[in-house]
Amino acid sequence: MSLDSVLVSNVMKTDVKTENENQDVMAACKVMYDNDIGCVVVIKEQGNDKIPVGIITERDIVRALGKLTVFLSMPLTKFMNKPIISIKSDHSISQAMKLMDSKNVRRLIVVDADNKMVGIITEKDIFSRIAKDPNMITEFIDKNYQKGHKIYSRFADHLLQLLPKL
């Protein structure tokens, strides 16, 4: 296996947690807490379709609270990240990492050929997949070991977390 041969569809999660764009921040916090996740996709409902319009992460909430200008009752549309950055489900995890790196994000919405949301893929999902295959670890390190490459250091941190505690 290589980074170019593993498809996003084989690594993504299909149970995407969403919240309506008119909900408040507290609703998103509850979804994250109840599901032990770090983000919620903000959607607009059009008929039976759920159209992703933004994403809100734990980091976004902490940054907003740190400014003391945001209250938990404000609607998600006030400070969600938009537009959505998405990737097709038939793209490789190598392409996903390049997109994440170029856009400075750690999560991508996965869409099908009709641009409908079918999942979400995170940097952690990709790292977990790479960590299962020594050849992929070597390939990842060869491609990313450059001074100042943030993704390399986060991958190294991920690998350290997999080691047994002494």
| C-alpha distances in Å from residue 77, one per residue of 19, 28, 71 | 11, 12, 13
Q: How far is Cα 106 from Cα 59, in angstroms, rounded to an integer?
A: 11
> Mean pLDDT across the stretch 155-161?
78
Contact assessment for residue 17 and residue 31, using Cβ atoms and an 8 Å cutoff: yes
Over residues 104-147, the pLDDT tens digits come to: 899 999 999 999 999 999 999 999 999 888 888 888 877 766 64
Check whether 149 has a pLDDT greater than 80.
Answer: no
- List the chain domain ranges: 8-162
The DSSP secondary-structure symbol of 155 reads H
Pick from 65-74, 78-87, 91-100, 125-134: least confident: 65-74
* Cβ neighbours around 100 below 10 Å, total: 20
Check whether 1 has a pLDDT greater than 90.
Answer: no
Model confidence at 75, pLDDT cuts 50, 70, 90, reads confident
Tokens of 134: 């020594």
CATH code of the domain occupying 8-162 = 3.10.580.10
Phi, psi (deg, nearest 5) at residue 156: -60, -40
pTM: 0.81
Over residues 5-50, the pLDDT tens digits come to: 899 999 999 999 999 999 998 999 999 999 999 999 999 998 888 8
Its sign, for the CA torsion 96, 2, 153, 40, is positive
